[in-house]
Structure 1
Amino acid sequence: MALLDEILEDNRKVAGPGKDPGSYIAHRHLCIVTCVDPRLTHFFGSALGVERGHAVALRVPGARIAPGSELMRALAASVYVNDCQEILVIPHTDCGVASVGGTELRRVMRARGVADADIPQDPGAFFGLVPDVREGARETVRAIRASPFLPRHIPVHAALMDIRTGALEVIERGYEHVFG
């Protein structure tokens, strides 16, 4: 069975009468910037206490947002539309963005049918590869704080998540930069 058909079958089992979806305002006023790694999904409720409606989640490779990137627009929307008042950047251990290299990405892209001319000159930069996820998180925090269209008073934190246990190690507490 095709994946979409499996999803639709599972959906038919649980979809019922309309439920109140709640507000588009993030109840905990939190925006989480985390990695695209699918292993992180189950940690939202169990390790972070973040359930449906509590937070906005932006998922990007390595939990990295570069200065001036399109992702800053999404982050700004979470602040101004969804009323997020704190930002938490969560990279994780055993991250593919920290372990895969540009050469490997180029090989995989070719194997998946991408023409050489269409492969970025620097796949590592294109995909935001980082050798150190902690430093990548610090770079993201600095980029967010430096963004001219985000409020200066918003706390921006970073914490490394252990992919095996869900435990968080604080890299940066944003309160010191706001209330310092």
Structure 2
Amino acid sequence: MALLDELLEANQKAFHPDADPGSFIANRHLCIVTCVDPRLTHFFPDAIGVDRGHAVVIRVPGAHIAPGSEMLRALAASIYVNDCQEVLVLPHTDCGVTRVSDDELRRVMRARGVTEAAIPGDPGRFFGLIPDVEKAALETAEAIRRTPYLPRQMPVHAALLDIRTGVMKVIERGYEAVFR
């Protein structure tokens, strides 16, 4: 069975026409900036107590957003449209973007049919590879704080989630950083 057909079949079994989807407002007023790693899907309820409707989740490789990035616009939407009052930058241990090399990316892209001319000159930078997730989390938090169209007094926290155990280690408490 094709993957799309499997998804459609699961959707038919899960479909509840009278279910209340809740509000588009994040009821815990939280936006989580985290990684694209598929191991994080459905991990948040058990690891940090965040269920459907609690938070907006923005997923980007390594949970890293560079200053001036288009992802800051997505974050602004979660703040102003979904009423997020705090941001948690939450990378994780054993992150693939810390382990993949430019050469590996080039090899995989060529194997998937991308021509050499179409491969970015610096694939690591293009795809957001980072050497240190904790440092990248702090850079992301600072980029958010310095973005002029985001609230000045909004707490932006940085933490690291252990992908195996679910234990969250605080790197920086955003409450203190607001008043620097």
Calculate the TM-score normalised by the size of structure 1: 0.97
Percent of pairs with identical residues:
72
Mapped partners of 2:10, 2:141: distance in 1: 38
Structure 1: gaps (5+ residues) = none
Question: Which residue of 2 is the match for residue 92 of structure 1?
Answer: 92
Mapped partners of 1:147, 1:163: distance in 2: 29
Cα deviation code 1:58-93 (max 9, x no counterpart): 000000111111100000000000000000001110
Displacement after TM superposition at 1:16 (Å): 2.2
Question: Which residue of 1 is the match for residue 74 of structure 2?
Answer: 74
Mapped partners of 1:146, 1:101: distance in 2: 30
Question: Which residue of 2 is the match for residue 176 of structure 1?
Answer: 176
Residue 158 of structure 1 aligns with an amino acid whose one-letter code is A
Displacement after TM superposition at 1:179 (Å): 4.2
Displacement after TM superposition at 1:42 (Å): 2.2
Question: Which residue of 2 is the match for residue 49 of structure 1?
Answer: 49
Mapped partners of 1:88, 1:46: distance in 2: 17
Question: Which residue of 1 is the match for residue 144 of structure 2?
Answer: 144
Question: Which residue of 2 is the match for residue 28 of structure 1?
Answer: 28
Mapped partners of 1:82, 1:14: distance in 2: 26
Mapped partners of 1:153, 1:36: distance in 2: 28
Cα deviation code 1:23-46 (max 9, x no counterpart): 111000000000000101122111
Aligned residues: 180
Matched, 1:156 2:145: no
Cα deviation code 1:153-178 (max 9, x no counterpart): 00000110000011001111100022
Alpha-carbon RMSD across the aligned residues, in angstroms, is: 0.9
Structure 2: gaps (5+ residues) = none
Matched, 1:64 2:64: yes
Calculate the TM-score normalised by the size of structure 2: 0.97
Matched, 1:12 2:12: yes
Mapped partners of 1:107, 1:18: distance in 2: 48
Mapped partners of 2:29, 2:129: distance in 1: 29
Q: Deviating runs (4+, > 2 A) in structure 1?
A: none
Mapped partners of 2:19, 2:45: distance in 1: 20
